[in-house]
Amino acid sequence: MASVDFRQFRYFIAVAEELHFGRAAERLHIAQSGLSQQILKLERSAGVQLLSRDRRGVELTDAGRVFLDHARQAVELADRAMTSPHLAERGKRGSLRVGTTILGMPPMAGRLVQAFEARFPDVEVDLRPRLISELIDGVSTYALDVAVVISPFKSVDPPPRYQQLGTYELVAAIPEGHRLAKLERVPRAELLAETLIEGPRNINPVLTDHLHRILFGELEQPRRLEVVEVEEARRLELVAEGKGIGITGTSPDVERRAPGVVFRHFEEPAPFVDYGLAWSATQTSPFLGSFIEIAREVAASEGQLQPA
């Protein structure tokens, strides 16, 4: 097999993710004709067609899908190698890239990070906040070593591994003075008569639809106010203004507070969602195994699961 210009790996990844040579060239800041030539050279070096091209666009071949995963791993290892001298100057022998939501981490996940840092002080934990929808993509493309996610999450091929850490109980966020604020527990059916304030569904449609099912079953919430802003604070502001009812999550060791808003549990059975860690089965980080093991210890110590 002929030698490969390593840049071709990055070029191929861009085309595979965009499935369009023009968009990939724009993303890479190179000419489309030059990109096409580099991909052809890569295919000649590999001795197999990686992309199928026709008038409808670009698709990965079966060989291309296999090659894509290996190309991503190769690029990730190269990037890790380039950062290693800088980490060594700070007394670190490596890093672990942990994805979190832009809204922050659950308390147990924070305790996990602290426990890992205490046991491995020579490993730099690189926290990378992202949108919920970007966390699984980050894991599957090796941009993240592991991510703190809410389950269920969107499907990718191959599916990531998952370790539950804990649960969030879903509670209703209600304006002070609202009729439902007088109840200790809110019947789910009562929400069907109220405007439900939600974040953008396209950020995580799998989770949004799951929340609707566990709250309302097969019934459709007829009055939904979808807020463009991702931040929960904006939705709680609208609740305080009397624009509707919100749904939020709370863990056992966190008491929710927001000006002008009261939080009420739902009638039994209380609705819960899981949160935990997601990572790729082919992840290359040498520290990931220890991080997952400590995660299981922390979860077991807090009664979330039985020790393995």
Secondary structure, 3-state, the chain:
CCCCCCHHHHHHHHHHHHCCHHHHHHHHCCCHHHHHHHHHHHHHHHCCCCEEEECCEEEECHHHHHHHHHHHHHHHHHHHHHHHHHHHHCCCCEEEEEEEECCECCHHHHHHHHHHHHHCCCEEEEEEEECHHHHHHHHHCCCCCEEEEEECCCCCCCCCEEEEEEEEEEEEEEECCCHHHHCCEECHHHHCCCCEEECCHHHCHHHHHHHHHHHHCCCCCCCEEECCCCCHHHHHHHHHCCCCEEEEEECCCCCCCECCEEEEEECCCCCEEEEEEEECCCCCCCCHHHHHHHHHHHHHHCCCCCCC
Could you give the number of structural domains in the chain?
3
Please indicate, yes or no, whether residues 175 and 265 belong to a single structural domain of this protein: yes
Residue 13 has pLDDT above 70, yes or no: yes
Residues 116 and 264 in one domain: no
Q: Are residues 100 and 228 in the same domain?
A: no
| Domain presence at residue 1 | no
Is residue 2 predicted with pLDDT exceeding 60? no
Best CA proximity match to 195, nearest among 236, 229, 224: 224
Instruction: Please check whether residue 102 is in contact with residue 150, taking contact to mean a CB–CB distance below 8 angstroms.
Output: no
Rounded to whole angstroms, the Cα distance separating 163 from 72 reads 23
Confidence check: pLDDT of 145 > 90: yes
pLDDT digits (tens, 9 = 90+) for 110-122: 999 999 999 999 9
ω before 259 within 30° of 0 (cis)? no
Higher pLDDT, 193 or 132: 193
pLDDT tier, 219 (very low <50, low <70, confident <90, very high otherwise): confident
- Tell me: do 229 and 180 sit in the same domain: yes
Shared-domain flag, residues 94 and 152:
yes
Mean pLDDT of 245-253: 82
What pLDDT is stored for residue 104 in this prediction?
76
Could you tell me which residue, 61 or 157, shows the higher pLDDT?
Answer: 61
Structural domain including 250 reads: 167-273
> Per residue in 156-207, pLDDT tens?
888 899 999 998 899 999 999 999 999 999 999 898 999 999 988 888 888 8
Residue 281 lies in a domain: yes
Q: Which amino acid is present at 270?
A: A
Q: How confident is the model at residue 254 (pLDDT cuts 50, 70, 90)?
A: low
Answer yes or no: do 29 and 152 share one domain.
no
Mean pLDDT of all residues belonging to the chain? 87
State yes or no: pLDDT of 252 exceeds 70.
no
The pLDDT of residue 308? 37
More confident residue, 100 or 255: 100
Average confidence (pLDDT) over 76-87: 81
Give yes or no: residues 51 and 146 share one domain. no
Residue 136: predicted pLDDT = 92
Q: What is the dihedral of CA 125, 129, 134, 139, to 10 degrees?
A: 0
Report the percent of the chain where pLDDT is more than 90.
Answer: 47
- The pLDDT value given to residue 105: 81
Q: Is residue 77 part of a domain?
A: no
For residues 148 and 280, state if they share a domain: yes
The residue-averaged pLDDT of 11-29 equals: 91
One-letter amino acid at 261 equals V
Query: Domain for residue 78, yes or no?
Result: no
Same domain, 172 and 269: yes
Confidence of residue 279 (pLDDT cuts 50, 70, 90): very high
